[in-house]
């Protein structure tokens, strides 16, 4: 066994895990440990926010924390090492076992890791990352030190004497310099989106100083190179002035907030849904006086003691009863195979506003639950969402959704479908209004419902029947028995 292999076995690296749902990055919200702390297998070491939820990560090793590779608030790509653990702290000083050649250390670690457990956000056992890192030569890094100093000075808002001397090289994107400069030189390491960004900004990746793990060029590196090259480009080509778009510096009358995590995922999902599924929205105004009376009665019922009894519970139950009468609504569109996939279980999503943004956890197989079971599930869902502990699994697999805009005093809206779902119901505010009841105008409790649905799956007749049945249950809640 070589010294390098022994070091790799002693210092185990824990990578940002993948939940297996297509997420590519996560932000480190909080570290619960620091270098020198003792950790045990399964101990939570940090909390991260993915595009779906905040999740606590357990470490799969026993030992002492050796290094934390990223600060809190940093967004890290899945598969990147975030923490290393010394699994044999009694073997001597850490420096003695530290890799002597940083460029060569990752190779044995990659070879050893598949033999152990690969951590994922839910359990263990995910396939190891397929990304392969090549060691970067020391000579190009040494040659790039002046450029690093210049870029750092630009990022810190200072002018450096050495910076302009290093900038002209990337400012002249001559093909003979960028690609064939060194036939034996390795191709710069960068992900496809970063390569596209560099191409769009006219930056030669071979001239960019990488700051990512294992010499990977990041988006920030490309932006830094573009910012450093901006003064030269303005002198040589006066009309090329897209520099403000790169820096995006806020003006005196505005505040810029980075879009990331849950809010970023929500924005992408809503855009994708709005321009993929043909939306149709229908509205109905209904007298829910009887339902509101039943809500008050059940709050006093011993069988519902300790449970969350409110109008949303009955809207959810009415939706489920209507779906049972029209099961073809509970479906999804398979674009790849050009098929309609009918779902046998209703996973009912409830849109929840949280400090981190909008999330839509769902109640699995909600149609099979009794009213008390549904009330209990709703209560747990809301409490978990408020604490920011909703798991990614709880937000996947939804089939239909309810959004309760009435809590904000809003009458109704035109909700956008959650991607992959067939329908979403907006529940408006319940207000006392004049209403014709038994031939006389009386004050009644009235609300407006709005149903948006995917017109590829649901035609106008089916959507109208579904909405009418929901309203019918809320108008006469005894239909929960006769229709349910």
Distance CA 105, CA 103 (A): 6
Farthest-apart Cα atoms in the chain, separation? 93
The residue ranges of DSSP E strands in 170-326, in sequence order, are 189-190, 216-217, 279-287
Rg over alpha carbons for the chain, rounded to the nearest Å, is 29
CB 425 within 8 A of CB 402: yes
3-class SS at 85?
strand
User: Distance (Å, rounded) from C-alpha 119 to C-alpha 126?
Assistant: 7
Catalytic-labelled residue, pool 223, 326, 437, 455: 455
CA nearest to 291, candidates 371, 352, 203, 185: 371
Please give the Cα distance from 98 to 131 (Å, whole number).
23
Using alpha carbons only, what angle is made at residue 243 by residues 237 and 244, rounded to the nearest 5 degrees?
140
Q: Which helix (H) or strand (E) holds 65?
A: strand 63-68
**CA 357-363-367 angle, 5° bins:** 145
CA distance 323 to 304: 24
In the three-class reduction of DSSP (H, G, I as helix; E, B as strand; rest coil), residue 377 is classed as helix
* Structural contact between residues 117 and 55, judged by C-beta atoms closer than 8 angstroms: no
Q: Are 444 and 437 in contact (CB under 8 A)?
A: yes
3-state class (DSSP) for residue 379? helix
DSSP state letters, 224-242: HHHHHHHHHHHHH-TT---
Reduced to 3 DSSP states, what percent helix, strand and coil does the chain have, rounded to the nearest 5? 40, 20, 40
Burial tier of 157 (Cβ tally within 10 Å: 0-12, 13-18, 19+) = exposed
Distance CA 432, CA 288 (A): 10
Compute the distance between CA of residue 200 and CA of residue 132 in angstroms, rounded to an integer.
26
Strands 189-190 and 216-217: parallel
Q: Hey, is 199 helix, strand or coil?
A: helix
Q: Is 455 one of the annotated active-site residues of the chain?
A: yes
Number of other CB atoms surrounding residue 56 within 10 Å = 14
Positions annotated as catalytic residues are 455
């Amino acid at each position: 066994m070589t010294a390098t292999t022994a070091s790799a076995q002693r210092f185990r690296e824990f990578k940002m895990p993948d939940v297996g749902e297509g997420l590519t990055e996560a932000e480190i919200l909080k570290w619960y440990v620091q270098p020198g702390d003792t950790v045990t297998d399964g101990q939570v070491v940090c909390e991260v926010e993915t595009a779906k939820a905040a999740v606590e990560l357990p470490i799969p090793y026993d030992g002492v924390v050796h290094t934390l590779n990223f600060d809190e608030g940093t967004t890290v790509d899945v598969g990147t090492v975030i923490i290393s653990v010394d699994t044999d702290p009694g073997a001597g000083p850490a420096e003695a076992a530290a890799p002597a050649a940083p460029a060569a250390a990752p190779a044995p670690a990659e070879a050893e890791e598949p033999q152990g457990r690969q951590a994922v956000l839910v359990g263990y056992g995910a396939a190891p990352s397929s990304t392969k890192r090549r060691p970067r030569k020391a000579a190009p890094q040494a040659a790039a030190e002046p450029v690093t100093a210049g870029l750092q000075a630009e990022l810190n808002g200072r002018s450096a004497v050495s910076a302009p001397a290093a900038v002209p090289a990337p400012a002249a994107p001559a093909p003979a310099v960028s690609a064939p400069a060194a036939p034996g030189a390795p191709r710069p390491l960068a992900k496809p989106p970063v390569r596209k960004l560099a191409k769009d900004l006219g930056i030669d990746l071979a001239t960019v100083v990488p700051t990512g793990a294992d010499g990977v060029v990041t988006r920030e590196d490309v932006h830094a190179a573009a910012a450093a090259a901006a003064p030269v480009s303005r002198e040589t080509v006066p009309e090329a002035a897209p520099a403000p778009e790169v820096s995006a510096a806020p003006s005196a009358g505005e505040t810029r907030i980075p879009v990331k995590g849950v809010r970023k995922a929500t924005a992408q999902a809503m855009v994708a849904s709005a321009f993929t599924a043909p939306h149709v929205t229908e509205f109905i105004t209904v007298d829910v006086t009887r339902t509101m009376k039943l809500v008050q009665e059940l709050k006093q019922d011993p069988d519902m003691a300790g449970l969350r009894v409110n109008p949303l519970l009955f809207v959810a139950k009415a939706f489920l009863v209507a779906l049972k009468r029209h099961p073809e609504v509970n479906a999804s569109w398979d674009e790849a195979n050009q098929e309609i996939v009918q779902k046998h279980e209703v996973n009912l999503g409830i849109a929840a506003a949280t400090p981190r943004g909008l999330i839509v956890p769902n109640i699995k197989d909600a149609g099979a639950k009794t009213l008390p079971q549904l009330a209990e599930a709703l209560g747990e869902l809301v409490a978990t969402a408020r604490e920011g502990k909703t798991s990614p699994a709880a937000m996947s697999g939804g089939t239909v959704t309810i959004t309760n805009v009435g809590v904000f005093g809003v009458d109704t809206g035109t909700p956008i479908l959650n991607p992959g779902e067939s329908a979403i119901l907006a529940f408006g505010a319940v207000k006392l209004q004049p209403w014709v009841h038994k031939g006389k105008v009386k004050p009644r409790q009235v609300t407006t419902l709005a149903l948006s649905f995917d017109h590829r799956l649901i035609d106008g007749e089916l959507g109208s029947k579904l909405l009418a049945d929901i309203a019918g249950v809320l108008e006469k809640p005894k239909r929960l028995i006769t229709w349910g």
